[in-house]
A and B are shown apart, each in its own frame.
Chain A
Amino acid sequence: MKTINSEHHLDLTKEDEKVYSTLNLGPTHPATHGIFQNILTMNGETIVGAEQTIGYIHRAFEKIAERRPYYQITTLTDRLNYCSSPINNIGWHLAVEKLLGVETNKRIDYMRIIVMELARIADHLICNSVIGVDSGALTGFVYVFEEREKIYEIYEELCGARLTTNLGRVGGFDRDFTAVAIQKIRDLMKGLPKVLHEFEKLLMRNRIFMDRTINVGAISAERALNYGFAGPNLRAAGVDYDVRVQEPYSSYNDFDFVVPIGQNGDTYDRYCVRQTELWESIKLVNNALENLPEGKFNAEVPAFFMPPKEDVYSKMEPLISHFKMVMGEIDVPEKEIYKAVEGANGELGFYVVADGGRSPYRLHFRRPGFIYYQAFLEMITGSALSDAILTMSSMNVIAGELDA
């Protein structure tokens, strides 16, 4: 079988055209969860080459961020990996806190851990159930989405929005966890293990699922590191790199959790790594909730925190500081930082170059989805079309993160 250089698949000779066919997978396709296009050159059902096109949802986040003040960029970060928005929001707030040199107390850190792990649970629930849907098993998806509704209710209690949460503030939160929110989190943590066990019984040791996912879309650890993989995809290949352990932020080092790794880097390993991380996240949320210390829910960052409205309307200094904040006269040091957090897909990084003004001079998002999707070509060459679909959904490519 002739191997085709994947960047120039269109140079097919007349003889080749009798053997190879071109299939356009996307940009609108039910199985690509997001908009990206793959033009596949196929020999029957086997893929011999592909050409990837992305950018169908390019919204120019980095250019917009050069016009927005720091606290308005949170709304942009929501829309990066929109299945787990709070992780992006809190990661951005951590980056700005690193820029300003702000320390948060333990209560804020634990609250942030609870919110981030809930977001991680939500994202892994979508990814794993969608692997099931793409292999034909739709039931798991419907059962698991009910749990996601409960997580949405918790977000609504905390910040008012379901999906694009814009949660928290630089330096903490704008309000404390209410008793209703804590009760909802407890109820969810009590009910989630039963649903997860049911979901696992459907898929994890299911003969059909295992046959469809073992040795499908495998990548070795060396190639994964060379590409810059991070997150569950890298851990499934066997490298235990987790930003929460390597560079602990937000008091993650107070907690004891397992970082699961796989062996082959194939679809089944990615599914199992995400499933195990779900269990670890449940443990983390329970631990953080039980040991939640007392304290204030926001740190002292007067430049970013709007004073309470009653004070703004009655006293002079809060009125002035409110005005200055909204007009954008805040003192930000002139330096550049890079801050990474462990998103649901891997190392989500923020590179901020600040020039002392109201908006950053340059903001670059290190988006894990963009970086590991490059390896998709290598992972599917030589496999069948249905394997390519499963590989794509197990890599959890979210279009918002791809294109920014």
Chain B
Amino acid sequence: MEYNTLLQELKDKFGDSILSADDTADFFTLVVASDIIKQLISFLKEEQNFIFLTDLCGIHYPEQEKELGVIYHLHNLVENKRIRLKIFVTKANPQVDSIVSIFSGANWMERETFDFYGIDFVGHPNLKRILNVDFMDYHPMRKEYPLEDATRSDKDDRFFGR
């Protein structure tokens, strides 16, 4: 399956929602609109043999208008091809459709992305924090938060170069 034919099929089916396609990275990377992600992944799984969800993670670009992003890596085990999908949402409305009904493995990966970036996955059965403490009130991987705990008293920042 050539990437150009795949891109043509996707453009025919989804039209303008495919915002950009890039073949110069290590494998085919698509940036798509966030509302079609569930149909796109379902199409890729049912009809293009991308049966393995390798990874799902979040990213934060503070200088873009749509700051928060979710990045999906899918793998076609039959023909040994990988694909990367990116969607971006704003901080004010970070809603993304959950793909747990397509890939059960996305369950915890979406919870981790919610925990770190605050992206709300609509339709997830149990969207709670998974790695951090339950009463944490901010999303730590966003770029505006520091790495260290602001309340620690025993380490003097002068000696740590901060």
Contact = CB atoms under 8 A, between A and B. Distances in A.
Contacts of B27: 338
A58 B132 contact: yes
A364 B55 CA distance: 9
A223 B53 CA distance: 12
A212 interface: no
Given A67-B147, A336-B25, A225 B51 contact: yes
Contacts, number: 87
A223 B125 contact: no
Contacts of B107: 374
Given A227-B104, A338-B55, A375-B104, A98 B109 contact: no
A370 B25 contact: no
Contacts of A340: 54
Contacts of B71: 351
B52 interface: yes
B130 A338 contact: no
A364 B58 CA distance: 9
B55 A55 contact: no
Interface string A103-146: 00000000000000000000000000000000000000000000
Contacts of B126: 7
A184 interface: no
A347 to B, nearest CB: 7
Identify whether the interface residues of A are mostly helix, strand, loop, or mixed.
mixed
Contacts of B130: 54-55
Chain A interface: which size bin? 35 or more
Say which size band chain B's interface belongs to.
35 or more
Nearest to B116: A62
B147 A60 contact: yes
Interface stretch (B1-9, B32-40, B76-84): B76-84
B44 interface: no
A351 B57 contact: yes
A148 interface: no
Contact of A403 (B59, B104, B131): B131
A337 B131 contact: no
A79 B82 CA distance: 28
Interface string A329-348: 00000011110100000010
Interface of B: 25-27, 29, 51-55, 57, 59, 71, 73, 77, 80, 82, 84, 103-105, 107-109, 112, 116, 125-126, 129-133, 140-141, 147
Interface of A: 7, 54-55, 58, 60, 62-64, 66-67, 98, 223, 225-229, 239, 241, 246-247, 335-338, 340, 347, 349, 351, 353, 362, 364, 366, 370-371, 373-375, 403-404
28 contacts: A54-B130, A55-B129, A55-B133, A60-B140, A63-B147, A64-B147, A67-B147, A98-B26, A225-B77, A226-B104, A227-B103, A227-B105, A228-B105, A229-B105, A241-B52, A337-B26, A338-B27, A349-B54, A349-B55, A351-B55, A362-B57, A362-B59, A366-B55, A371-B105, A371-B108, A374-B104, A374-B108, A403-B131
What 9 A-B pairs have minimum CB-CB distances, sorted nearest first?
A: A228-B105, A55-B131, A364-B57, A58-B131, A227-B105, A366-B55, A7-B126, A374-B108, A337-B26
